Each structure stands twice: as C-alpha cells, then as structure tokens.
Amino acid sequence: MTTSSHPQQDPRHAGVSLTDTRPGQRVRVIAVDAGQALVARLCALGLTPGITAEVVAAGAGPVVLSVMGSRIVLGHGMADQIRVRPAPPAPPGR
C-alpha cells in the first residue's frame, strides 16, 4: 500500500476511487492513498491491494462492501482514499 498524496501522478494508482463505484459492481483494490493508521486499519479489515470485493451500497454516504463473506462499512472519506479497478465476475455458484 502506498501513502502518496498525488495518485494521478503515479501509474500504480490507475483506476477510480471506491466512492466512484456503484452497487453490484465487483472491484479489485489496487492501492490505498492514506496515512499509516488508516492503511493498518484497512489491513486489519482484510482490505489490501489485490483483494476483490462487491460493492453493496455506495453514494454520498458510507460505502458498504462484501469481502470474503463479510460486510465492511467505510465512511465516505475512507472509501475515497481506496483506488480500485473493475474485477471479473464471480465464478458460478458463488
């Protein structure tokens, strides 16, 4: 995870903010542009680069994710610091 304050200048940060996603979309976390405390908190929740999640709710308020069978609720400010890319659909039966 990175703590860069200028994600648009770093090619590792391609993708969009988690706040720019929509419900039902599957995403892969590619970076977290935050301080060490938030990065550690997100790691403890299982949100690390490479993890795939489904967006359950998103909008002006909190973002709700489904990650490995658990729901994680992130405030809008936290979610805005997480960069994601679209992920492939889940395999059948999941």
Residue 17, domain CATH: 2.30.30.90
**Cα–Cα dist 86/64, whole Å:** 16
Decide which of 16 and 6 is more confident: 16
**Cα–Cα dist 85/68, whole Å:** 18
Q: Give a yes or no: residue 92 inside a domain.
A: no
Domain span at residue 39 reads 7-86
Average pLDDT, the chain: 86
Neighbours of 63 (CB within 10 A): 24
Contact 68, 5 (CB under 8 A): no
Structure confidence at residue 60 (pLDDT): 87
**Cα–Cα dist 11/61, whole Å:** 28
Structure confidence at residue 12 (pLDDT): 54
Share of residues in the chain with pLDDT > 70 (%): 84
Q: Give a yes or no: residue 17 inside a domain.
A: yes
Q: Give a yes or no: residue 43 inside a domain.
A: yes
Rg (CA), the chain: 12
Structure confidence at residue 30 (pLDDT): 96
Degrees (nearest 5) of the Cα angle 59, 64, 65?
125
Model confidence band, residue 89 (pLDDT cutoffs 50, 70, 90)? confident
Number of domains the chain is built from: 1
Q: Give a yes or no: residue 93 inside a domain.
A: no
Q: Give a yes or no: residue 91 inside a domain.
A: no
What is the rounded average pLDDT of the residues 67-76? 94
Q: Give a yes or no: residue 94 inside a domain.
A: no
Q: Give a yes or no: residue 25 inside a domain.
A: yes
Q: What is the tens place of the pLDDT at every residue in 16-60?
A: 999 999 999 999 999 999 999 999 999 999 999 999 999 999 988
